[in-house]
Amino acid sequence: MVEPAPRARIRAAAPVKPVAWNGGAGAMNEDVRARYRSNTARHLIGVARDFENRMLGRLTAEDGYERLRPSFGPLLSLIAQRPRPLRALADALSISPQAVSQLVSACERCGFTERGPDPDDGRNRLIALTRRGRGLVADANRQRRRLTAEYAANIGDEAMDRFAESATRLLRALSEAPDVLPIAGRSASIGALPLLSVDAQRTLMEDTTARGHAGLKMSHAQVLPLIGPEGARVASLARVQGISRQAVGATARELEDMGYLRREPDPRDRRGVVFLLSDQGEALIRDSVAALDALDTRYAKAIGPRRYSALQRGARALYESLGLEREIFDGTPQDGEPLERLAGRLRRELGDDASRRLAALLAEPRNPTAADAALGHV
């Protein structure tokens, strides 16, 4: 039996006055800027990202799992119900069969999944959880309940319950095959957020593509929505997204080559650069803002205006209470790398033995000579 988690409120950075958006001749007007800065899709995606990053950090630092990726969660929760073929997983996750095959292979290398014969179709292979994969799902559910309690401390139990219930209903309503839902989709749970985030990003991408912006990919959503009023630095984008600087840098350069971003020297660091929206990038943002109305209409129709309003209020309350993306839009420096993620990174880099020695040193009163000598062996 899992003990109730302590109601530790997750703190947000102190609010600051927003920075003015400096645009050129084709700059966005005030209404577009405001809509771009604050909308339900952004709130849902931001909270889902925070949820995944915290879950990943805790499963790594506290439960000892290594090489976890945010993309593992939706996949593993889908096959936690029963083994499924690759095609069903690709459809549920809105990615190509090649991409889902690569994802499954990564899970297999970590020991979480295995492939077996399909008794109903000899041409298919079914993807199933291994014993280690089932253990990961159980630990993830425990950490999810704990994190839900912490989120509820931010916005209140009643608001949290309505938010989780509305999110789960929306995920069910959007699924073309309701049977192919993550385990969290069978009861009210914030575990629905990652797949809702995927749906919102995919829908907005398809809409903007239809408006003439060809060549966009889901990975571009890691950068484009986070180009703030003074541009964005690769380090900040990587920190907000919880991914490597190399991955963010590669995506930013690709968007620069496509004409959506431009770069300028970083006034804070002569060696660095700041990525800003080009005129073409601002046109893309204007079109994506226009697509937000259609997304709101689709979601409200799926679960009804009352439940969608509860979802909107809960997503916004969490987004604001957590201080998400303030570093990007208000110029507010965040507190740095979350402790859970820092601990996981150090465990991977140092190994178990050295990590335990470091933890023991951190728990002791500061003794410069002894501590520095011991760290020299880590």
Per-domain boundaries in the chain: 36-216+308-329
Q: Which of 27, 17, 18 is nearest to 286 (CA)?
A: 27
- The CATH number of the structural domain formed by 36-216+308-329 is 1.10.10.10
| C-alpha span between 165 and 187 (Å, rounded) | 8
Mean pLDDT of 147-166: 96
**Tokens standing for 324?**
């998400």
Nearby residues of 323 by Cβ (< 8 Å), 6 or more positions away = 11, 12, 13, 332, 334
Q: How confident is the model at residue 336 (pLDDT cuts 50, 70, 90)?
A: very low
SS3 assignment, position 63: coil
Element (H, E) at 318: helix 305-321
**Tokens standing for 128?**
């199933």
Angle (CA) 213-227-288 rounded to 5° is 35
Has residue 1 got a pLDDT over 70? no
**Comparison of pLDDT for 217 and 94, the residue scoring more:** 217
pLDDT 10s digits, 217-255? 888 888 888 888 788 888 888 888 878 889 889 999 999
Ranking 152-161, 174-183, 333-342 by mean pLDDT, the lowest is: 333-342
CA dist 7 to 204, 321, 335, 339, Å?
36, 15, 21, 18
pLDDT 10s digits, 252-308? 999 999 999 999 998 888 788 999 999 999 999 888 888 999 999 999 999 999 999
SS3 assignment, position 297: helix
pLDDT 10s digits, 5-45? 333 444 333 333 333 344 444 456 778 878 888 899 999 99
Percent of the chain clearing pLDDT 70 (strictly above): 79
Mean pLDDT of 353-363: 72
Q: Which of 239, 225, 202, 210 is nearest to 99 (CA)?
A: 202
Going through 278-334 in order, the beta strands assigned E by DSSP cover none
Nearby residues of 88 by Cβ (< 8 Å), 6 or more positions away = 177, 180
Q: How confident is the model at residue 185 (pLDDT cuts 50, 70, 90)?
A: very low
DSSP string, 111-180: TSEEEEE-TT-TT-EEEEE-HHHHHHHHHHHHHHHHHHHHHHHHH-HHHHHHHHHHHHHHHHHH-SSTTS
Burial annotation 118-136 (CB, 10 A radius, 16+ → b, else e): eeeeeebbbbbbeeebeeb
Count the neighbouring beta carbons within 10 Å of the beta carbon of residue 7.
11
**Comparison of pLDDT for 238 and 333, the residue scoring more:** 238
Angle (CA) 297-218-230 rounded to 5° is 85
**Comparison of pLDDT for 34 and 332, the residue scoring more:** 34
Mean pLDDT (the chain, rounded) = 80
pLDDT at 344: 58
pLDDT at 175: 76
| C-alpha span between 142 and 148 (Å, rounded) | 10
pTM across the whole model: 0.74
Mean pLDDT of 130-156: 95
Element (H, E) at 277: strand 269-277
Q: How confident is the model at residue 341 (pLDDT cuts 50, 70, 90)?
A: low
Q: How confident is the model at residue 122 (pLDDT cuts 50, 70, 90)?
A: confident
Has residue 347 got a pLDDT over 80? no
**Tokens standing for 160?**
């949290």
DSSP 8-state symbol, 341:
H
Has residue 377 got a pLDDT over 90? no
Q: How confident is the model at residue 188 (pLDDT cuts 50, 70, 90)?
A: confident
pLDDT at 39: 93
pLDDT at 146: 94
Has residue 334 got a pLDDT over 50? no
